[in-house]
Structure formats: structure tokens, C-alpha cells
Amino acid sequence: MGQPLLAVILALVVWLPAAQALAGPTPSPLETRLDQWPGWSRPAALRRPGREDLTYPVWFAGEWLAESSDGLRYPVRFRRRADGTVVGDRAFNAAAVGRAALGNALLGVTDDPSNPNRQIALLAGDQQLESTVTGRRSEHPADDLFLADERSLQVLHRAGPPRLSEVETLSRYELRPDGSIQATQWQARFDPPGGGPALGRTVLGSSRLSLRLEPRPAAPAAPPGDRAS
């Protein structure tokens, strides 16, 4: 190997790591997806969840009062399973959000006992909204930061033909020093799936929502004299 060529190779060995450091860390897939907002032309390609539920960092465990930037307030809760992982109480949380937004138009929400990624909401007017998570990705880039992206197929059963849509919800959660959780959710609703992978999809609606979750204190224990004997 000639000396000039060797000098070039050695220079590259020194320069490449420095250039990479100047460029900064490579964005994660979900950070890249955030950067694409609001130009989502189709739902993200996410791994099918099978029958696995979305698991959260341990600091989610417990009960919270959520307040959104659109003025809604509702309780949510996350429970710790026997293996120590934390999951959301999906039916309770969906019903709480639905009642805050729809009032008496929401009659109830039930989970599929055989699949944590499927639930049905009963609506006034003899309607049912069936929602099934078809794709998911989550990232835990720091102890106090968590991102999750879920793609769901929603079918509204009503009089006449059912109405189908696909919804993607990307959430970013940050644990604050005061124990609260600050969250932002980006959501887009698309026309039914069926186009080829190179085709865009019609966006039926999109929104960006801020949330703050404040921990709810545990209810005080009843005095000994008030306990049933």
C-alpha cells in the first residue's frame, strides 16, 4: 500500500467518527414519524401485536386524573400485572374518555377477554364501534420518556353498511419532576385499507392533543370503628 493512500485511509478513520458526532444521534423510528407530522399520507408500517398488550414504564402504575388541551377531564388507570409489567386498563380508560367527550351517547365499553387489543363500544342509536389494534411500536429512550405508536382498524356497525376507517395514534409521555406526566398525542384517521403500498391514503381527519396526568391520591383507609365486623 502506498504512503499517500495510507494517509487518506488514516484521515478517514479520524474524520468519520467526528463527522458522526457533529451530525448527532440518528433519530429513532418514532422520532422520525413525529418529524413527518402533519404530512402523514398513510398509516405507519408497524409490527402486528398478536395478543400482546402495550406495556408502559413502571411510573405509569396507579390512578391518574387526565386533563386535555380541549378541556376534557377524566380518570385513567394503569395496573401492574403479576410479572411486574404495567398495562393500561383499556376498557375503563376508553369509557372515561368516551363519557367525557360523548356524554350519554356512550353506553359502555367492553374488552375482548381473549384479545387485549380488541374492544367494543356500545353507542346510542343501536350502534357499535369495534376497534382492533393492528400494529404497534414503543420506545423508551430515557428513564423519564416513553413513546408509543398504535394503528387500529375501527368498524362502526350501524343501520346500513358498516363504516370502516384506520386510525394511527402516536403518543409521547414525559415524567415530570413533580410526579405528573406530560403527554402529547398525534392522531390521524384514514380511509379503509386496501390500496397498494406505494399509494397514499385519504386522510379523513387529524389532531394534535396535549395531556397532563396528575396522580390521584389513594383513598384513605376507613377508621377501625367504621369497618364491617
- Assign 3 a pLDDT band (cuts: 50, 70, 90): low
Task: Give residue-wise pLDDT tens across range 169-202.
Answer: 999 999 999 999 999 999 999 998 775 554 567 8
Q: Residue 114 phi/psi, 5° resolution?
A: -100, -5
Q: pLDDT by residue (tens digit) across 136-158?
A: 999 999 999 999 999 999 999 99
Distance (Å, whole) CA 128 – CA 107 = 10
E strand or H helix at 198, and its extent? none
Which helix (H) or strand (E) covers residue 76, if one does?
Answer: strand 73-80
Share of the chain above pLDDT 70, in %: 81
Compute the C-alpha angle 98/101/104, nearest 5°.
70
| Confidence band of 22 (pLDDT split at 50, 70, 90) | low
Query: Element (H or E) spanning 7, and its range?
Result: helix 3-23
Residue (of 157, 107, 87) closest to 128 by Cα position? 157
Task: Compare 85 and 4 and report the one with higher pLDDT.
Answer: 85
What's the first-to-final CA gap in the chain, in angstroms?
A: 91
pLDDT score at 98: 95
Instruction: Report the predicted TM-score, pTM, of the whole model to 2 decimal places.
Output: 0.82
Q: What is the pLDDT of residues 70-85, one digit of tens each?
A: 999 999 999 999 999 9
Q: For the residues 108-121, what does the mean pLDDT come to?
A: 96
Q: Please give the share of the chain, as a percent, with pLDDT higher than 90.
A: 76
- Report the pLDDT averaged over residues 156-162: 93
Neighbours of 58 (CB within 10 A): 11
Residue 115 is which amino acid?
A: N
| pLDDT over 80 at 94, yes or no | yes
Using CA atoms, how far residue 87 sits from 90, 91, 113, 175, 224, in Å, is 8, 12, 15, 17, 33
Residue 20 confidence (pLDDT) above 90: no
User: In the predicted model, is pLDDT for residue 124 greater than 80?
Assistant: yes
Which pLDDT band, with edges at 50, 70 and 90, does 224 fall under? low
pLDDT value, residue 63: 97
pLDDT at 226 over 90: no
pLDDT band at 6 (very low <50, low <70, confident <90, very high): very low
